[in-house]
A and B are shown apart, each in its own frame.
Chain A
Amino acid sequence: MRSVAVVGFAQAPNVRRTTGTANGVEMLVPIAHELYAQTGLEKRDIGFFCSGSSDYIAGRAFSFVMAVDAIGAWPPINESHVEMDAAWALYEAWVKLQTGEIDTALVYGFGKSSGSDLRRVLSLQLDPYYLAPLWPDSVSLAALQCRLGLDAGKWGEKDMAEVVARSRADARSNPNAQLSGDPTADDLLGEPYLADPLRRHDCAPITDGAAGVVLVAGERANEIRDTPAWITGFEHRIDAQNLGARDLTTAPSASSAAVAAGVDGASVAELHAPFSHQELILREAMGLGGEVRINPSGGPLCANPMFAAGLIRIGEAARRVWDGDAAKVVAHATSGPCLQQNLVCVMEAG
């Protein structure tokens, strides 16, 4: 495999609501400028652009078409888009780098969830004939998943509260976080249920946000960063869609992706777990022991811009390598209901 490193990462402030359009342009323009400033690259140096977003979040067809304006596709650019979290756009860009056709790539994702009723919109990801017509929303489905784990004795509500308390506390040092604070687990357990057994803080907030990452192949990465975050494993898998046909207290696709990507020995992991109990599922599924620091950025429980939050995990994990905090890191992204689809990206210092 060709050596490819993450050398740039920028994100919009994660907020409950922006006044910008659903096309993400207002959030993406400053991100592109910041990425160019960080890396010293210019638009003409970028060999390939790839983005991730969703028309259903934007409430219109072809939402990514206007987002192309944010990067300024003139003269014409080599560009692609996935209707997935932008972590998968980064995967497509990494594949393109592996073909040798390009040496640099800029990847971005955006989601303005404030324009809709997110949990109902996500119902439309379900089987359109058997399940979606019943409108089970994303929070209710996660609550059912959580209940299965509680009843099986795989985790307790206190474990979940501790995940939230740690995330909020870590988010205090993340200027882009939407939520932060220093609640104790006991404080959190005193809160009412939103969708029993989930309390509001067990669920990721609804966020408007966007992010971008720059990938560079070969020696050039060393010119941009003292310690580039070299991608040493990049894998993704999907599980069956039928929620009644798989064990929702595990995530087999996350397990096999983690094994294939080689997560052993990592000291930091950024996990895209939009619900507190899903972090517990992922830690077990991915074989991340107690020595691995989880979500030092505060993670998705403190900011969860749809279709960008997975890419942000990769950027946040890469940052730990650049800063010398960790020699090996893991980033994870998820898609679909109840952790159906999972991606694992492993990065290491030189």
Chain B
Amino acid sequence: MAGAGKGAVDKVLAAVIGTGQTKHTTKRDDVSIAGLCREAADRALDDAGMTWTDIDAVVVGKAPDLFEGVMMPELSMAEALGAVGKPLLRVHTAGSVGGSTAIVATSLVQAGIHQRVLTLAFEKQSESNAMWALSIPMPFSMPVHAGAGGYFAPHVRSYIRRSGAPTHVGAMVAAKDRRNGAKNPLAHLHQPDITVEKVQESMMLWDPIRFDETCPSSDGACAMVLVDENTADAHVSAGKGPAAWIHATAMRTEPTMFAGRDQVNPLAGREAAKALWEQAGITDPLEEIDVAEIYVPFSWFEPMWLENLGFVPEGDGWKLTESGETDLGGKLPINVSGGVLSSNPIGASGMIRFAEAAKQILGRCGEYQVEGARKALGHAYGGGSQFFAMWVVAADKPGV
């Protein structure tokens, strides 16, 4: 083979046929880290109509090991993850990791290396203290000592100043996502009666981000079963359920800090989106995407990412949000599962976005199902708005 076989490669088509999540909550002290992961994985296998012996390889993701205080926890979960005797990969790309992990699993199928891959991401925040883990002083680095909210608040202020957005838009996003979360039995926070006014009355944490505009700290896990075209076709024709076909994946990275960087509308996010839409054959994402799960840990990131993803021109994101078109029943429903604002097991949050997009295609969203959803976006970001991972899943095979 050596030297031969160059040239174009035909990717194997890949699809999601099962997803599983835990009930996200502040503290799961009834299960170990392995038990938490097992619960999500069992549910995903169940959803796919598969058992552990069907799985060829396992791809695990989570945010920093210091969040639980366990170094490379996947090693001690080899049995719980059904990985003994199989390949096990561990991905870590900061907050985008849940998305990146799903993309690595997708590549294993698309490359023709495996037919059935289990991918899983988790965080059990109650085992340690994320604020501490994020605040270790490092030589030659300016300490933030404020967690993620303190880091991102200046970006939000800058967005408001640049776009001229009215200040209630953030509260609108928070009220919408929390109301949606109340329809999702697995969401951490259930606040069906929340209003924009109540959000605006909540405590200011990092101006202009209020308490109710902030994601919770959650224990939770999310898993998906990804399969190749033959397996997905057999699954569908056997009447076991539909498949969500993966049309495109993209990842981009830029450095944390340098003077020329636009942290409000990062170039890495814009380039990832451009590559994603091209790969998916999408020319007008606002018209062609039926539902989107976007990583919004603080309310204002909804309008910011709407622009970064190219759904609307720069400066117009808040207008779409304010018009109500991002709510269930709107032109582009965003985070109808409740989003990161309703559940945030950090390492899993990105994969939950990817899985919720797939669930919309599979028609498994119950009360928050977007009717007729045929094409969905899953999006994750991490670090100082510098790591991006995203995918497009659809009811039809690519090219159909």
In chain A, positions 85-103 with a C-beta closer than 8 Å to chain B are 88, 91-92, 95-96, 98-101
Residues of B59-116 whose CB lies within 8 A of A? 63-73, 75-79, 83-94, 100, 103-104, 107-108, 110-113
| Chain A: minimal CB distance from B297 (Å) | 16
Of B10, B113, B251, the contact of A95 (CB 8 Å cutoff): B113
**Interface-facing stretch out of A57-65, A164-172, A203-211, A268-276:** A57-65
Residue in chain A with minimal CB distance to B252:
A76
Min distance, Cβ B108 to any Cβ of chain A, angstroms: 6
Segment of B135-143, B215-223, B285-293 engaged in the interface with chain A: B135-143
Q: A3–B113 Cα gap in the complex (Å)?
A: 14
Cβ of B168 to closest chain A Cβ, rounded Å: 33
- Shortest Cβ distance from residue A239 to the other chain B in the assembled complex, whole angstroms: 6
Q: Counting chain A CB atoms within 10 Å of each CB, which of B73, B253, B258 scores highest?
A: B253
Alpha-carbon separation in the docked complex, A340 to B311 (Å): 47
Q: A64 near B84 (CB under 8 angstroms)?
A: no
| Interface contact B71-A239, CB-CB below 8 Å | no
Tell me, rounded to whole Å, the shortest Cβ–Cβ distance linking A256 to chain B.
7
Q: Determine the main DSSP class of A at the interface with B.
A: mixed
- What's the dominant secondary structure at chain B's contact region? loop
Asked whether B5 is an interface residue with its Cβ less than 8 Å from the other chain, the reply is yes
Report A163 CB to chain B, min CB distance, Å.
25
Report yes or no: A3 in contact with B255, Cβ–Cβ below 8 A.
no
Instruction: Looking at the assembled complex, report how far the CB atom of B37 sits from the nearest CB atom of chain A, in whole angstroms.
Output: 13
- Convert B8-35 into 0s and 1s, putting 1 for each residue whose CB lies closer than 8 angstroms to a CB of A: 1111000000000000000000001100
Measured CA separation A89–B251 after assembly (Å): 15
Total contacts A to B, CB within 8 angstroms?
A: 223
- Near B by CB (< 8 A), chain A positions 108-145 give 121-122, 124-129, 131-132
Q: Range of interface residues on chain A?
A: 35 or more
A340 and B75 contact, Cβ closer than 8 Å, known pairs A95-B108, A99-B107, A238-B84: yes
Let me know if A240 and B79 touch, CB within 8 A. Answer: yes
A324 to B134, CA, bound (A): 49
CB distance from B51 to the nearest CB of A (A): 19
Q: Is B6 on the interface with A (CB-CB < 8 A)?
A: yes
- Say which residue of B33, B68, B87, B90 sits within 8 Å of A83 (CB atoms): B90
Residues of A close to B134: CB separation below 8 A: 61
Closest residue of chain B to A61 (Cβ to Cβ) is B64
Which of A148-156, A187-195, A229-237 is the contact stretch? A229-237
B1 on the interface (CB 8 Å rule)? yes
**CB atoms of B89 and A91 under 8 A apart:** yes
Q: In the complex the two chains form, is A62's CB within 8 Å of B94's CB? A: yes
- Give A79 to B254 CA distance when docked, in angstroms: 9
The answer to the question of A349 belonging to the interface, with a C-beta cut-off of 8 Å to chain B, is yes
Could you say which of A98, A129, A132 has the most chain B C-beta atoms within 10 Å of its C-beta? A98
Does A252 make an interface contact (CB < 8 A)? yes
Q: Does B238 contact A (CB under 8 A)?
A: no
Q: Is A2 an interface residue when CB atoms closer than 8 A count as contact?
A: yes
A58-76 Cβ-contact flags toward B at 8 Å (1 or 0): 0111101110110011111
The 4 A-B residue pairs with the shortest CB-CB distance in the complex, in nearest-first order: A218-B6, A100-B9, A98-B111, A61-B64
7 new A-B contacts at CB < 8 Å, known A56-B72, A91-B89, A99-B11: A54-B72, A56-B65, A74-B258, A76-B267, A76-B271, A131-B76, A240-B79
Instruction: Name 13 A/B residue pairs within 8 A (Cβ), A-sorted.
Output: A61-B133, A68-B256, A75-B271, A79-B253, A81-B93, A83-B91, A98-B107, A121-B71, A218-B5, A238-B87, A242-B79, A256-B85, A341-B88
A residues in contact (CB < 8 Å) with B:
1-3, 5, 21-22, 49, 54-56, 59-62, 64-66, 68-69, 72-84, 88, 91-92, 95-96, 98-101, 121-122, 124-129, 131-132, 217-222, 228, 230, 232, 235-242, 252-253, 256, 335-337, 340-341, 348-350
